[in-house]
A = this chain, B = another copy of it.
Amino acid sequence: MRISELSRASGVSIATIKYYLREGLLPPGETTARNQADYSDEHLWRLRFVRVLREVGGLGIESIRAVLVAVNDDQRSLHEVLGVAHHALSPASPSGEEFPEMDEVDTLLRRLGWKVSPAAPDRWALAETLAALRRLGRDVDATTFLPHAQAVEQLAAVEVSSLDPSAGRAQAVEQAIVGTVVYEAALVALRRLAHEHHSALQASNSQRTADR
């Protein structure tokens, strides 16, 4: 298909497609004539993937490039590629610094029976949240996250088992990454909606008490 058809089918503007081509996020089409190139379904599919990473995952160009390089690297296992994607998606790269809360997070992970890489950026991220709660004067330890851990474990088990094992490697990787990005965005949105609902409930309950 021509670039105009690729644009229509993907919902990505021609200017943006040209930008992705320049940046190497999209491989060049097959040249069919001077100033004309032909694009395949592979291009369409790749473009949709980049769009999800950008719009739903909020990733910048550099992070998208890192994910694509990992997806294309056959030497890496699905498991490793997911690690790269999680790293790219993490709001801040971990400093690598060890702080007291790390030990408590590791104790929590052992208690849950979760096997995770010591280099997982989310180990740091979780320790950071615990440290933040304490800096704000809350008297908490890592077990405060236990209900959250149990809730997400069930969801993760369902999500991982829904991946199609017969899919090709590239597709399996992308399935997993898209699932991570999209279901994570959905989970965060739902959590805020649930909060709005419960804070409204609580406000109307205390109003009713005050009216008596």
A interface list, Cβ under 8 A from B? 11, 48-49, 51-52, 55-56, 58, 77-79, 82-83, 86, 89, 91-92, 109, 114-117, 120, 122-123, 125-126, 128-130, 132-133, 135-136, 145, 147-149, 151-161, 163, 165, 176, 178, 180, 182-203, 206
Contact = CB atoms under 8 A, between A and B. Distances in A.
A132 B182 contact: yes
Contacts of A135: 11, 48, 51-52
13 contacts: A52-B136, A55-B132, A79-B199, A82-B196, A126-B189, A129-B183, A129-B186, A130-B186, A145-B186, A148-B186, A152-B190, A155-B194, A156-B197
List 3 A-B pairs, minimum CB-CB distance, nearest first. A156-B194, A122-B189, A114-B197
Q: How many copies does the complex hold?
A: 2
A155 B128 CA distance: 20
A15 B81 CA distance: 39
Given A86-B196, A120-B196, A147 B158 contact: yes
Contact of A182 (B117, B122, B129, B203): B129
Contacts of A129: 56, 182-183, 185-186, 189
A122 B160 contact: no
Given A114-B197, A186-B145, A56 B132 contact: yes
